[in-house]
Amino acid sequence: MGATSHQAGAAGRALTADRPTSVRNVVLVGHSGAGKTTLVEALALTAGAVNRAGRVEDGSTVSDHDEIEHRRHGSVQLSLVPVEWGGIKINVLDTPGYADFVGELRAGLRAADAALFVVSAADGIDGATRMVWDECEAVGMPRAIVVTHLEAARSDYAQMAGVCGETFGAEDPDAVVPLYLPLHGPAGADGHAPVTGLLGLLSRRVHDYGSGERVERDPDPAELALIADARSRLIEGIIAESEDESLMDRYLGGEDIDVKTLVDDLERAVARGTFHPVLMAAPAAEGARQGLGTVELLELITGGFPTPAERAPLAVTAPDGSARPAVTCDPDGPLVAEVVKTSSDPYVGRVSLVRVFSGTLLPEATVHVSGHGLADRGHEDHDVDERTGALSSPFGKHQRPLGRCIAGDLACVAKLTRAETGDTLSAKDRPLLMEPWSMPEPLLPLAVEAHGKADEDKLSQALARLVAEDPTLRLEQNPHTHQLVLWCLGEAHQDVVLERLRTRYGVQVDPVPHKVSLRETFGAEATGRGRHVKQSGSHGQFAICEIRVEPLPAGSGVEFVDKVVGGSVPRQFIPSVEKGVRAQAARGVAAGYPLVDVRITLLDGKAHSVDSSDAAFQTAGALALREAAAEATLHLLEPVAELDVLVPDEYVGPVMSDLAGRRGRVVGSDQAGPGRTRVRAEIPEIEIGRYAVELRSVSHGTGGFRRTYARHEPMPPQLAEKIREQAEKGT
């Protein structure tokens, strides 16, 4: 691409946009350690948003994160860094590369109009990054690739560009090609020749960064020879995507196509999402003003990535689901904005990062907040009016005030106390709702207990705030095990949740073993006699009842039948017997788990005209059930889940072997798109507590699964006996 003049974003003031065409929203995608955050800082330095030390005027860096979280896990949350280039405001969204924080990645994809895939020349491309590429491909999101870590001794840009073509260009290899070749300096003692500049394939110009400043010059004959073959392939790829059908015939006929025509066609193809150029970048050397390749990258973003105005009309409904006309990116249109991230600030409270899709968002204005679709994760469904606080633009650790946020732009909004991630903001008199984006299902359980009384008092409010910030976290108060369970995406996600509870909200919790909801049932018919006869003073207790317990089919619950004849148990005490046996069934009769799938028949009993009572017959009923259990064969029932596992074809064998080792039964498999297989299995839930972590290991980060409860079924006797022994030790 041709060079443009360097225009710095003014450090110290919030960048504002006066029209959607002067905004670009780009999300950085790549695995942890690929260099995304370093690239953001390099772009900010080149754009003049930070000084040469990489600091803004408050002394912070543009990528400052929670110190403890960042030290332990790297970047774990979505961050926004606005910069300016050539009069265009670029909202750079930096996403976590670790799989546990894919919710933040999806929020970034939702807020952006194009994606920049960051791959390391030293480490290659992981399976998770390939999956995100496929997701973007499915929705036609424009993409480009930038290769980092060129300074590594084992890095090879040409090889990495080839890997990008094979990985990302499987359907169309000519659509993933480099725009530049590296210019190498003298080799060091280790034999590695550092990259000091770029050879522009279209312009046939050298962009030399060797001095710390970007200098353009003509190539020498040797450099020109390097360009020839790669330039031909690039031009053919661009022409293949051109809307001018005569261009290929002219090129093959020997015509030298004008560079401006090629650049214009390239930019249009990138914006359409049909051409994906490969670039390279490296951070600035000590004292330098520009990082290698950052000017070229900023030019691609401003010239090739689409404006928000090019986004397709957005489908919306009323909060009740009734149809409403689609909205476009028009600052004068109806207000439609979405909360893409929620965080808590110790000074200003809750801060919401918002993408405005239509209309104009103003500070201190009343908006309608519509929440939806995440009630099963502890999020309250709501439709409520709220007053926005100040609007601001994030930079470093501080927020710079904004007077408004137009359609296509992003801003932080203070004091939205009810709005949560994924909620829609719209006009008070014209409430609208956006379709929620796809959110990964948290499948790794973390059972917790408050550490002390003070923690218990604060826990409920802290968890509510935590869930509001993180829609990938599901809060469950299990009615069967009576455990408080936080469902997370992985172990790192669990660590961050516990750390945030402790450091942000001052709540200490203790992880405890997660329990599955086991059940007990009778394996055969049995009888029991409950005798509760006590004499204490002038008024005693007298109740005797005889029962029969029969097993019933799965799912029958507990059935109580009265077959008393002759009034041996007075009618007023029969409900008391039922209450007693049901209470004992709920407490369990062997290992402390609820008794299910039985019919309990009251056959006979005795009463006393003075000493019999409701309480006495409740006790007698419970004793009768316990006596029947002592004489019967009991089964311990465990919950069985239906598992739907989606993996690349090459991991189907290891996944099936792993499931078999967990007492799983594979019930089928089928193709689920090119190169991917869906494996369906039934497996005891006790065997898949950590499956979210273990599947990631077996499939190298490329597998996913869904689980649904199927039924309870008898546990193998040896395992059941072990659990009964543990229950006896615990009593």
| Residue whose pair of structure tokens reads 């650049």 in the numeric block | 263
Long-range contact set of residues 154-158: C-beta below 8 Å, sequence gap at least 24: 154/122, 155/121, 155/122, 156/121, 157/121, 157/181, 157/182, 157/195, 157/280, 158/182
Mean local confidence (pLDDT), 227-245:
90
pLDDT confidence tier of residue 517, bands split at 50, 70 and 90:
very high
What integer pLDDT is reported at residue 71 of this predicted model? 44
The sign one gets for the Cα dihedral 55, 58, 63, 66 is positive
What integer pLDDT is reported at residue 590 of this predicted model? 85
Q: How far is CA 192 from CA 34, 154, 584, 669, in A?
A: 20, 8, 76, 48
Residue 3: pLDDT above 50? no
pLDDT tens, residue by residue, 636-679:
999 999 999 999 999 999 999 999 999 999 999 999 888 899 99
350-389 residues labelled b (16+ CB within 10 A) or e (exposed): bbbbbbbbbbbbebebebbbbbbbbeebbbeebbeebebb
pLDDT tens, residue by residue, 301-320:
999 999 999 999 999 999 98
Phi, psi of 440 (to 5 degrees): -65, 145
Mean local confidence (pLDDT), 330-334:
96
Mean local confidence (pLDDT), 616-621:
96
Q: Is this prediction's pTM over 0.75?
A: yes
Phi, psi of 115 (to 5 degrees): -125, 140
Mean local confidence (pLDDT), 79-97:
94
Of 45-59, 267-281, 514-528, which gets the smallest average pLDDT?
45-59
Residue 530: pLDDT above 50? yes
| Residue whose pair of structure tokens reads 């260099």 in the numeric block | 35
pLDDT tens, residue by residue, 134-176:
889 988 999 999 999 988 877 889 899 999 999 998 778 889 9
pLDDT greater at residue 511 or residue 376:
511
Mean local confidence (pLDDT), 551-564:
94
pLDDT tens, residue by residue, 464-482:
888 888 889 999 999 989 9
Mean local confidence (pLDDT), 268-297:
89
pLDDT greater at residue 520 or residue 13:
520
| 3 state DSSP class of 638 | strand
Residue 729: pLDDT above 80? no
Residue 452: pLDDT above 90? yes
DSSP 685: G
Residue 279: pLDDT above 80? yes
Phi, psi of 652 (to 5 degrees): -65, -45
Q: What is the DSSP string of 337-374?
A: EEEEEEEEETTTEEEEEEEEEESEE-TT-EEEEE--S-
Q: What is the dihedral of CA 690, 696, 702, 707, to 10 degrees?
A: -10
- What are the residues whose beta carbons fall under 8 Å from the beta carbon of 604, sequence distance 6 or more? 545, 546, 564, 568, 569
What integer pLDDT is reported at residue 73 of this predicted model? 47
For 263-292, what is the HEC assignment? HHHHHHHHHHCCCCCEEECCCCCCCCCCCC
